[in-house]
Amino acid sequence: MSSVTSSLRLSVLDQSPVSQGSTSAQALANTLDLARLADRLGYHRYWLAEHHGGPMLAGPSPEALIGPIASATEHIRVGSGGVMLPHYSPLKVAETFSVLSALFPGRIDLGIGRAAGTDPLTTFALQRDRRQAAPDDFPQQLAELLGYLDDTLPADHPFARLAQTLPGRPQRPQPWLLGSSPQSALWAAELGLPYAFADFINPNGAEIAALYRERFAAHEHAHVPQTAVGVWVICADSDEEARRLAASGRMTFTLLRRGELIAVPPPEEALRFLAADERSGAGRQARRRAIVGAPQTVRAELEQVVADYGAQEAIVVCITYEHEARRRSYELLADVFELDARPAEPISTEEALTT
């Protein structure tokens, strides 16, 4: 076993995909089911994404899902991947995650992002004050949020006393900064935060991760840089089956780039669409990176991505039409990386009769 494999942490980023012909309610039930499975399989953390106003993803409120998922699991860390801070009051975010940290000590992550997670119209609809567009003041929002969590707001700050009243103290969430650009790396380094890079959005981030480590060292933080890389992965029993399953996601993201939002289609429909798209020449544009294949294929490619990023953790995104295929993908991945699986808790007769 390689040193990368033996030391690598594997985690899950769940975007709660909605399959064609299904419902968002079922997608959320699938999220809860997958979280239980990830906990048993030995995954390190389970993050919930934030997306608004589309038919493909059913997770607009990671903060609403974290509690139920942490309640339904025992060991896995649970958090946001992430909270899109420009939509919110920093104090409200601090209070919410403080409560969660008190309820689930040592298990809550607060992944923070700058992106809208939606289109401009929906972004505007999310604003409380719609008299004008919201200011682009993310660095100030982030500093205020961290000031609440760390109780480091200056004494003359108008909100300084509020930092001492967070309901979950002494517990606090572990903050992370999410990103896919050099600017996010610079902010994470300057603030001494762990950094999660979205390779599934920008597959050219190895140099950005290196920039994060370099600038982190320059600031001489007491702790060390921590890097995770988010990667789109579909693992199946064969390379051929994995490619078939991946067609669903490829079709949805192809149409997303064209401004067309759809639920996740069946693989056969997606394969027909992609073939026609390729014949027309429309499908020759740059694609997002996807690691797709049988277990050994996926392990080799994922290890290479992790090594390129100098990361200690891979956060795996998987979108398939069938929920069972997504479960199977995470099972195969856990097996090939030899995660420390935890035995399932025995189900009582009463529970068996009600499930």
Location of structure tokens 């509020």: 162
222, pLDDT greater than 90: no
In whole angstroms, give the CA distance from residue 252 to residue 222: 44
Q: What is the mean pLDDT of the chain?
A: 92
Q: Residues 295, 299, 301, 304: what is their CA dihedral angle, to the nearest 10 degrees?
A: 180
Predicted TM-score of the model (pTM): 0.92
* In the predicted structure, residue 30 carries a pLDDT above the cut 60: yes
pLDDT band at 6; cut points 50, 70, 90: low
Is residue 157 scored above 70 in pLDDT?
A: yes
Whether the pLDDT of residue 345 is over 60: the answer is: no
Cβ burial 220-254 (10 Å sphere, 16+ → b, else e): eeeeebbbbbbbbbbbbeeeebbbbbbbbbbbbbb
pLDDT of residue 330: 98
Is domain 3-342 annotated with CATH 3.40.50.1820?
no
In this prediction, residues 36-44 reach a mean pLDDT of: 98
Report d(CA 264, CA 15) in Å as an integer: 12
Calculate ∠ Cα 221-152-313, nearest 5°.
45
pLDDT single digits (tens) 239-296: 999 999 999 999 999 999 899 999 999 999 999 999 998 887 765 555 678 999 999 9
What value does the CA radius of gyration of the chain take, rounded to a whole number of Å?
20
> pLDDT tier at 12 (50, 70, 90 boundaries)?
very high
pLDDT in tens, 52-87: 999 999 999 999 999 999 999 999 999 999 999 999
What digits encode the pLDDT tens for the residues 281-326? 765 555 678 999 999 999 999 999 999 999 999 999 999 999 999 9
Residue 137 has pLDDT above 60, yes or no: yes
C-alpha–C-alpha distance, residues 234 and 245, integer Å: 8
Q: pLDDT value at position 280?
A: 79
Identify the three-state secondary structure at position 302: helix
pLDDT computed for residue 354 by the predictor: 36
State residue 352's pLDDT score.
Answer: 35
Report percent pLDDT > 70 for the chain: 93
pLDDT at 353: 33
- What value does the mean pLDDT take over residues 213-228? 91
- The beta strand positions in the chain, using DSSP E, are 9-14, 45-48, 77-84, 108-113, 174-179, 195-198, 227-235, 291-293, 313-317
- Asked if residue 334 has pLDDT above 80, the reply is yes
List the domain boundaries for the chain: 3-342
Q: Does residue 118 or residue 7 have the better pLDDT? A: 118
Give the pLDDT band (50/70/90) at residue 1.
Answer: very low
Contacts 24+ apart (CB under 8 A), 88-91: 90/141, 90/142, 90/144, 90/145, 90/148, 91/144, 91/148, 91/159, 91/162
DSSP tag of 56:
S
